[in-house]
Amino acid sequence: MSASQVNVTPAAAQRPFFVGLDVGGTNIKIGIVDNAGQTLAYDSIPTEQERGAEDACVRMAAVVRQLIEKNGINAKDVVQVGIATPGPMDIAQGMILRPGNLPGWHDFPIRDRVSHHMGLPVTFANDANAAAYGEFWSGAGKQYHSLVLLTLGTGIGGGIIIGDTLVEGEHSCGSECGHILINPAPDAPMDSLGKRGSLEAHCNATAVVDRALAALGSATVTSLAKRRAAGVEITPRVVAEEAEKGDAVARGIIMETGYWLAIGIVTFIHTIDPDAVVLGGAMTFGGYGSEIGRAFLEHIRDEVRPRLLEPLRDTVKIEFASLGGDAGYIGAAGLARLEYQKKR
Amino acid sequence: MSASQVNVTPAAAQRPFFVGLDVGGTNIKIGIVDNAGQTLAYDSIPTEQERGAEDACVRMAAVVRQLIEKNGINAKDVVQVGIATPGPMDIAQGMILRPGNLPGWHDFPIRDRVSHHMGLPVTFANDANAAAYGEFWSGAGKQYHSLVLLTLGTGIGGGIIIGDTLVEGEHSCGSECGHILINPAPDAPMDSLGKRGSLEAHCNATAVVDRALAALGSATVTSLAKRRAAGVEITPRVVAEEAEKGDAVARGIIMETGYWLAIGIVTFIHTIDPDAVVLGGAMTFGGYGSEIGRAFLEHIRDEVRPRLLEPLRDTVKIEFASLGGDAGYIGAAGLARLEYQKKR
Q: A179 Cβ partners below 8 Å, 6+ apart?
A: A191, A193, A195, A198, A199, A200, B266, B270, B309
Residue A307 has its nearest CB partner, among B195, B268, B274, at B195
Chain A CA closest to residue B148: A271
Interchain pair B274, A309: CB under 8 A? no
pLDDT at A219: 64
Residue B270 has its nearest CB partner, among A176, A273, A311, at A176
In 3-state terms, what secondary structure has residue B320?
strand
**Set of chain B residues whose Cβ sits within 8 Å of the Cβ of A200:** none
CA distance B131 to B4: 18
- From first to last of the 344 residues of chain A, give the pLDDT tens digit: 344 589 899 899 999 999 999 999 999 999 999 999 999 999 999 999 999 999 999 999 999 999 999 999 999 999 999 999 998 999 999 999 998 889 889 999 999 999 999 999 999 999 999 999 999 999 999 999 999 999 999 999 999 999 989 999 999 999 999 999 999 999 999 998 889 999 999 999 999 999 999 988 766 678 888 998 899 999 999 999 999 999 999 999 999 999 999 999 999 999 999 999 999 999 999 999 999 999 999 999 999 999 999 999 999 999 999 999 999 999 999 999 999 999 88
Interchain pair A274, B170: CB under 8 A? yes
pLDDT digits (tens, 9 = 90+) for B226-271: 998 899 999 999 999 999 999 999 999 999 999 999 999 999 999 9
Chain B CA closest to residue A159: B271
Chain A CA closest to residue B307: A195
Residue B167 has its nearest CB partner, among A272, A310, A311, at A272
Q: Which of A170, A20, A175 is nearest to A92 (CA)?
A: A170
For residue B188, give the DSSP letter.
Answer: -
pLDDT digits (tens, 9 = 90+) for A152-168: 999 999 999 999 899 99
Interchain pair B270, A195: CB under 8 A? no
Contact A318, A277 (CB under 8 A): yes
Q: Which helix (H) or strand (E) holds B19?
A: strand B17-23
Interchain pair A176, B271: CB under 8 A? yes
CA distance A209 to A300: 19
Q: What is the dihedral of CA A270, A271, A273, A274, to 10 degrees?
A: -130
Interchain pair A309, B181: CB under 8 A? no
Number of neighbouring beta carbons within 10 Å of residue B70: 11
Number of neighbouring beta carbons within 10 Å of residue B33: 32
**Set of chain B residues whose Cβ sits within 8 Å of the Cβ of A309:** 88, 173, 176, 179, 193
pLDDT at B218: 62
∠ CA B145-A86-A131, nearest 5°, is 80
Dihedral (CA of A195, A201, A205, A210) sign: positive
Q: Which helix (H) or strand (E) holds B94?
A: none
CA distance B63 to B204: 34
Domains of chain A, CATH where assigned: 17-135+325-343 (3.30.420.40), 142-321 (3.30.420.40)
**Set of chain B residues whose Cβ sits within 8 Å of the Cβ of A169:** 146, 272-274
Quick one: average pLDDT of B193-206? 95
Dihedral (CA of A199, A202, A208, A209) sign: positive
pLDDT at A3: 42
**Set of chain B residues whose Cβ sits within 8 Å of the Cβ of A311:** 88, 171-173
Interchain pair B165, A168: CB under 8 A? no
Residue type, B53: A
pLDDT over threshold 70, residue B4: no
pLDDT at A4: 59
pLDDT digits (tens, 9 = 90+) for A166-203: 999 999 999 999 999 999 999 999 998 889 999 999 99
As to burial, measured by CB atoms within 10 angstroms (0-12 exposed, 13-18 middle, 19+ buried), residue B4 is exposed
Q: B283 Cβ partners below 8 Å, 6+ apart?
A: B152, B153, B204, B205, B208, B236
pLDDT at A86: 94
**Set of chain B residues whose Cβ sits within 8 Å of the Cβ of A182:** 181-182, 184
Contact A139, A323 (CB under 8 A): yes
Interchain pair A273, B173: CB under 8 A? yes
**Set of chain B residues whose Cβ sits within 8 Å of the Cβ of A88:** 309-311
CA distance A267 to A290: 27
Chain B CA closest to residue A129: B271
Radius of gyration over alpha carbons of chain B, in Å?
21
pLDDT at A100: 85
- Give the predicted TM-score (pTM) of the model: 0.96
Beta-bridged to residue A126, according to DSSP, are A85
As to burial, measured by CB atoms within 10 angstroms (0-12 exposed, 13-18 middle, 19+ buried), residue A58 is middle
